[in-house]
Amino acid sequence: MIALVGAAWAQVQTATHEGTLVGERIEWSSTFHGERDVCTPVRPGDRVLIGAVNDGLACAEGPLLRVERSQFVGALEPPLGAPGIHRITLKGTHFEPDPGLGMQKTASGWTAPGVSRTDRLHFDTDLRKHGVRGLQTALYLRDPENHALPGELVQSTITSWTRLGMGLGLGLVVALGGVFYRRLDGLARRERIEAWMADATVRTELDQDGIV
């Protein structure tokens, strides 16, 4: 039995954990993918949507296992423990992992030691194939142990509205610049004509004086 479970665990390749901050709780929705039967350790209170629980282990007879968990705000406690690469995302808040975890900050979030850029790219590409957006900030872990991730939940002052405002500001600057440029056309042409006439007049006078 243990050997069978061990063999099944080895099939877990990727797991996504989507946490949503609801009041004082984080609601987790986790999906495990594998080539065939996949398993993950669960705890009492976890809801297994696809698969079945046996001796603290949720297993699915197929390549997909889905588990939901609810926790109080604090260290992140998604259902980790299965081997493979795990991707954790949060809605409604940002997470700064404890420096002791040794995670490295990247443009796409935080990466634990052992997860390469290629791993991340493959993971996100695979997610996009399944219609999941891979552009949000995420934490990537490889073969995580089944315990909480210490860190701090922070509310960012930069919202998507701020960025939208910045984008609109740029659009406005470009548009107004274009309009202003067009409005200066007539004036600029007049300046050119005046300069040309002044040049021509000077040349004529010089010519009449026999200097040129």
Is 193 a residue that touches another protein (CB under 8 A)?
Answer: yes
Residues 133-152, interacting with another protein (CB under 8 A): 134-135
**Burial status of residue 42 (CB atoms within 10 A of its CB: 0-12, 13-18, 19 or more):** buried
User: What's the gap between Cα 17 and its chain centre?
Assistant: 14
Site string for another protein, 84-113 (x = CB under 8 A): ---------------------xxxx-----
**Closest to another protein by CB, 91 or 190:** 190
Q: Where are the alpha helices (DSSP H) in the chain?
A: 2-9, 117-129, 160-208
**Closest to another protein by CB, 12 or 138:** 138
**Closest to another protein by CB, 4 or 173:** 173
Cα 166 from Cα 172, distance rounded (Å): 10
Is 56 a residue that touches another protein (CB under 8 A)?
Answer: no
- Minimum CB separation of residue 37 from another protein in Å reads 33
- Minimum CB separation of residue 189 from another protein in Å reads 6
How is residue 162 written in tokens? 């701020």
List phi, psi (to 5°) of 75.
-60, 145
Binds another protein (CB under 8 A): choice among 52, 62, 169, 175: 169
75: nearest Cα among 148, 154, 25: 148
Q: Given the rule CB under 8 A, which of 8-16, 34-42, 64-72, 201-209 is the region that contacts another protein?
A: 201-209
- Minimum CB separation of residue 170 from another protein in Å reads 4
Kindly write down the DSSP assignment for every residue of 89-123, as one continuous string.
EEESSEEEE-GGG--EEETTEEE-TT--HHHHHHH
- Minimum CB separation of residue 87 from another protein in Å reads 14
Strand duo 138-142 + 109-111: pairing: parallel
Cα 122 from Cα 155, distance rounded (Å): 29
**Closest to another protein by CB, 152 or 191:** 191
Is 52 a residue that touches another protein (CB under 8 A)?
Answer: no
Cα 142 from Cα 211, distance rounded (Å): 86
Q: Report the interface residues with another protein, using CB under 8 A.
A: 105-108, 117, 121, 134-135, 158, 162-163, 166-167, 169-170, 173-174, 177, 180-181, 184-185, 187-198, 200-201, 203-204, 207, 212
